[in-house]
Amino acid sequence: MGTFEWKHWALAVGILAFSGVAWMKAQPASKPVTVDAKVLHNAGSGANDALPGSWLSYGRNQNETRYSTLKLINDTNAKRLGLAWSYAIGAGGGNQEGTPLMWNNTLYGITTWSVVYALDARTGKELWRWDPEVNQQAVRPRICCGTVNRGMALYNGLLIAPVIDGRLEALDALTGKPVWESRMAYPQDQYTLTMAPRIAGDKVIMGASGGDKPTRGFFAAFDAKTGRQAWKFYTVPGNPENPPENEAMKAAQKTWGGDFWTKGGGGAVWDGIAYDPEANLVYVGTGNAEPWVQKFRGAQNVDNLYTCSILAVDLASGQMKWYFQTTPNDNWDFDSVQQLMLLDLNIKGKQRKVITQASKNGFFWVLDRITGEFLSGAPYVKTTWALGLDAKGRPIVNPEAYYDTDPISIFPTGGGAHNWSPMSFNPNTGFVYIPVSLTPFTYAATKELAPGSTGYAFGRGGAAPKLIDKPAIGPPTDENMRGALEAWDPVNQKLGWRVDGGGGIGGGTATTAGNLVFQVINDGRFRAVTADKGEVLYEVKTGRTGMAPPITYEADGKQYVAFQGGLGRAANINGANSDKIDAPPMLFVFALDGAAEMPKAAPPPPGRGGPPPAGPAPEQQR
């Protein structure tokens, strides 16, 4: 071979070799497991779980247990936890409440203004970011109860995100590009979207917030592939001059009176949804009656269905199968939208498929999830508004708990013994881990109902409130303990253990096979607690307040714990919000032997040098 020929042959071989390398680099990574209905159904089931290291839905699985089988981080090494990396998620607007999702080594999060981001779950490198460009100036005055967002849903390569202005968006999970958009509600009608959507079969289930505005509560089902609305279910009746939408609304009309529909009625669905694929039932918790004070709702001593209730609705038809009302004739803002958890429990020697809830009113409920039969209920905190339950689970109201213009103070707090902060269930201990608030709350009614108001006087001015302290039911409370983490036995309805720190508003829990409960507290603390005994093994201050619940996941053989935190208050310059914020809200990711530097702490709120509050006022929780 001549010199010329050799050079060209070598060059050709080089080109081919380079092309081969380029071709190999251009090939996509192994195809990720599709998150379909089967994968979601089996999540957390052990041997059938296709993605045990992922966190695919708000409650990790459709039972909403927030239990992970991971145990690389466990009770023997949790003291070695440290910050692995962090990510500034962008300007905030309120408390962080979103639960991140993890799939395909990608961590997905959402901000309070509905901006979605995707990160490499191992390094924190930003992969994409999508901003729905909410008109904040127009929407902010319409928001009922805080600029918040609790999370998203994954299904068939789509990331389904609620936008606070009433839109529901489906984004390509790999690229962040919009696939479809549906309009669920309008802020002009006082509705906003704050809860995390849930996947049920091939549908997206979503509720609308607005419970302290004159709104009529509802939730709806959308085709997950197209975004087309399949059905809509109102939680309270409308104008009785119009035909009721279904038999459920026909029955509910009898439990209202006067001109209730002119004030909305309430019953907002702003959290608390679960799905049982075997029964094909969607379970939904509903909010408080509106206005708060019963004397302003047009008729007294009627139940006001279906406020403060747990509803079971057939997924295919959207028709109600059963309901259970936790607070009939609500007078205390005792929503029943708290987390609905589906468990299989041995009760009195019989295996039962149950639905459980630690509701705002202080009672832990256990119902048969197929029939709605009341199985048991008990106060899980000190409670004085009720004297107990009758045989069917109806609360026996303490007559002293009714109020008018003279203020009274009762247990539990109006913000809820347990609010939106997620609880979790560990099958190895049999405990449900509930972040609880233990303080009383003052109620008083206004003399007249101002247009668009709740009728609640906020306890300001006037005489000192009368403390309704006796008779009290439920576990006794240390007077110095404002909030706590409780391990609750749902079978025997009793307290297992309780540790100081926490509260029903802000943060939340996740639990694992490593005998751990990961807890985030609204004052900025993150800790690891033993699931069996409640021993605090690790605790760190993040320097943020307004905290979101944790998740845990595994990537490349390493276990992580992730959560969001930070208010991110915008600086006010000449009466306008600027792009400069006191300290950016963050995504914190912890791992064993993490050695990253903690971000600079946020300064205290203006005019306050003390510790952060236990949580916002009750009207700011939707």
Sheet holding 320-325, edge to edge: 273-276, 281-285, 309-314, 320-325
| Over residues 527-531, mean pLDDT | 98
- Choose the weakest-confidence range: 9-23, 98-112, 338-352, 359-373: 9-23
Predicted pLDDT at 21? 35
Residues with catalytic function: 333
332: its two tokens = 């205390």
Q: Output the pLDDT for position 168.
A: 98
Cα 194 from Cα 567, distance rounded (Å): 16
Task: Give this prediction's pTM.
Answer: 0.92
Digit-coded pLDDT (tens) for 36-56: 999 999 998 888 999 999 999
Mean pLDDT of 336-347: 97
**Greater confidence, 605 or 70?**
70
* pLDDT per residue as tens digits for the range 537-573: 999 999 999 999 999 999 999 999 999 999 876 544 3
Q: What is the pLDDT of residue 430?
A: 98
Question: What confidence score (pLDDT) does residue 457 get?
Answer: 87
The residue ranges of every structural domain in the chain are: 31-620
Confidence tier at 611 by pLDDT (50, 70, 90):
very low
List Cα–Cα distances, 194 to 20, 209, 271, 442, 603, in angstroms.
49, 6, 8, 27, 27
Closest among 496, 513, 534 to 67, alpha carbons compared? 513
Residue bearing the bigger pLDDT, 515 or 464: 515
Residues 496-512: tens digit of each pLDDT: 999 999 888 899 999 99
User: Percent of the chain scored above 90 by pLDDT?
Assistant: 80
pLDDT tens for each residue of 368-406: 999 999 999 999 999 999 999 999 999 999 999 999 999
22 falls in which pLDDT band (50, 70, 90)? Answer: very low
Q: How confident is the model at residue 580 (pLDDT cuts 50, 70, 90)?
A: low
H or E, element range at 437: strand 431-437
Least confident of 28-42, 309-323, 454-468: 454-468
Paired sense of beta strands 126-130 and 116-120, if any = antiparallel
Query: Do the Cβ atoms of 215 and 268 come closer than 8 Å?
Result: yes
CA distance 439 to 443: 13
Tokens of 253: 């009309």
E strand map for 291-373: 309-314, 320-325, 341-347, 350-358, 363-368
> What pLDDT was estimated at residue 24?
34
The tokens describing 551, both together, are 């998740």
Neighbouring C-beta atoms of residue 479, cutoff 10 Å: 8
3-state secondary structure of 167: strand
Are the C-beta atoms of residues 269 and 235 closer than 8 Å to each other? Answer: yes
pLDDT of residue 102: 98
Which DSSP category does 209 fall into? B
- Statement: 31-620 belongs to CATH 2.140.10.10: yes
Q: Are 477 and 500 in contact (CB under 8 A)?
A: no
Cα 546 from Cα 562, distance rounded (Å): 15
pLDDT value at position 67?
98
Rg of the chain over CA atoms, in angstroms? Answer: 25
What's the mean per-residue pLDDT of the chain?
Answer: 90
Calpha distance 507→595 (Å, rounded): 23
Contact 533, 551 (CB under 8 A): no
In this model, does residue 338 exceed pLDDT 70? Answer: yes
Spatial distance between the Cα atoms of 373 and 505, rounded to a whole number of angstroms: 29
State the pLDDT confidence band at 606, using cuts at 50, 70 and 90.
Answer: low
Up-side HSE of residue 351: CA atoms within 13 Å toward CB? Answer: 1
**Contact in structure between 213 and 264 (CB atoms under 8 Å):** yes
What single letter denotes the amino acid at residue 110?
A: I
Is residue 378 within 8 A of residue 486, CB to CB? The reply is: no
Residue 528 has pLDDT above 80, yes or no: yes
State the residue for tokens 């990790």.
60
pLDDT of 23 > 70? The answer is no
**What does the pLDDT read at residue 12?**
40
